[in-house]
């Protein structure tokens, strides 16, 4: 083999029912079921090029080399795909996100999903997408959910993600109030391990998460916003409560995070249906019906500390791009 290459596009996903904690650390199996929405507006483009010129794997993000931990994680996933294909060639990975990276905006999810699919396609492996979700999940569990569009679940201890409903089932709008451009201090993998080890509330989180997941799933299937909103918020806040009780505490909230929460609660008191969710970072993601998106967006943009607001509809499945047009990669 001299060169084998594929370029894919994936989309970030935001969990409406959160994954936080592992049932099996070595295999990276989640301790709780989660359900997410894939977002059309937050995209990762990744090219994987296996070439006999290389003496080791390389990872480039937006034109910058990524040594250390990120490269190790990528290389591990590449090695799994190499083993399936029976090849030993190293790969150069070039990836680009059109949204802030490593700050709680789900960049690892779309990133590892893209890497898994691009590696599989480059090496001409004929695997069902479900099998690709298992490869992505082993690298980063939330990544399994980014291979499908629309509403997607990853059950507790599950190997692979499953589609719950396609994007057109319920075209809600997700508004992302960006409160910082900085990378976060504690990544999700370390954060959830720290929570599991030191938080007295972690066990309660794991016990209660399946109930919240079931509630979120039922509300999504019934397209019932009034039922969805409290379950989404409780899932996020219960997850954060387990982090806040860790020792030392894991606090991802910034003053702007609370300002946006307050704005959403004010909007609701005034009769606008909206609910928030927060991941391992300071941003707040707000779910609304499309008819209310403009009003809510304008209010979020005015909340103190909000830098900008991204707007997104439900996104599609991961896709393979035609060769020769990776203009967004450099």
Q: Tell me which stretch binds ligand DP6 (CB under 6 A): 134-142, 159-167, 218-226, 283-291.
A: 134-142
Expressed in percent and rounded to 5, the helix, strand and coil fractions of the chain are: 40, 25, 35
Q: Where are the alpha helices (DSSP H) in the chain?
A: 68-85, 107-122, 129-139, 188-198, 202-222, 225-244, 255-269, 293-302
Looking at 15, 136, 286, 309, which residue binds ligand DP6 (CB under 6 A)?
A: 15
Site for ligand DP6 in 21-40 (CB under 6 A): 28, 34
State the number of binding residues for ligand DP6 (CB under 6 A). Answer: 14
99 binds ligand DP6 (CB under 6 A): no
Q: Which residue has the tokens 């599989």?
A: 120
77 binds ligand DP6 (CB under 6 A): no
Site for ligand DP6 in 178-207 (CB under 6 A): 188-189
Contact 8, 318 (CB under 8 A): yes
Q: Tell me which stretch binds ligand DP6 (CB under 6 A): 14-22, 169-177, 242-250, 297-305.
A: 14-22
Could you give the string, one character per residue 279-308, with x where binding to ligand DP6 holds by CB under 6 A and - elsewhere? xx----------------------------
Contact 78, 117 (CB under 8 A): no
Query: What whole-number distance in Å separates Cα of residue 100 and Cα of residue 307?
Result: 12
Assigned token pair, 202: 């972690």
Nearest to 240 by CA among 203, 275, 278, 211: 278
CB of 236 to ligand DP6, least distance (A): 9
Q: Which residues of the chain form contacts with ligand DP6 (CB under 6 A)?
A: 15, 18-20, 28, 34, 108, 140-142, 188-189, 279-280
């Amino acid at each position: 083999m001299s060169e084998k290459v594929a370029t894919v596009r994936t989309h970030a996903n935001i969990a409406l029912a959160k994954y936080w904690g592992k049932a099996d650390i070595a295999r990276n199996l989640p301790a709780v079921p989660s359900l997410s929405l894939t977002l059309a507006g937050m995209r990762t483009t990744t090219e994987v090029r296996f070439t006999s010129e290389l003496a080791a794997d390389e990872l480039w993000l937006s034109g910058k080399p990524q040594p250390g931990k990120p490269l190790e994680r990528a290389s591990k996933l590449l090695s799994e795909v190499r083993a399936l294909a029976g090849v030993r060639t190293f790969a150069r990975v070039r990836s680009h996100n059109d949204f802030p990276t490593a700050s709680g905006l789900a960049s690892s999810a779309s990133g590892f999903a893209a890497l898994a699919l691009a590696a599989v396609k480059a090496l001409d492996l004929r695997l069902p997408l479900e099998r690709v979700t298992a490869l992505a999940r082993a690298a980063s569990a939330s990544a399994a959910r980014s291979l499908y569009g629309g509403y997607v679940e990853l059950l507790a201890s599950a190997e692979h993600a499953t589609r719950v409903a396609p994007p057109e089932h319920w075209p809600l709008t997700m508004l992302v109030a960006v409160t910082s451009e900085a990378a976060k201090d504690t990544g999700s993998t370390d954060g959830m391990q720290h929570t599991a080890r030191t938080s007295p509330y972690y066990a309660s989180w794991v016990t209660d998460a399946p109930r919240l997941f079931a509630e979120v799933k039922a509300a999504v299937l019934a397209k019932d916003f009034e039922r969805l909103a409290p379950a989404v918020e409780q899932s996020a806040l219960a997850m954060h409560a387990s982090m806040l009780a860790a020792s030392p505490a894991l606090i991802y909230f910034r003053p702007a995070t609370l300002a946006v929460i307050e704005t959403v609660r004010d909007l609701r008191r005034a009769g606008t249906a909206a609910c928030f969710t927060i991941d391992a970072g300071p941003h707040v993601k707000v779910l609304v019906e499309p008819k209310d998106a403009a009003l809510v967006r304008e209010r979020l943009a005015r909340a103190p500390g909000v830098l900008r607001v991204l707007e997104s509809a439900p996104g599609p499945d991961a896709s393979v791009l035609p060769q020769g047009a990776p203009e967004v990669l450099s």
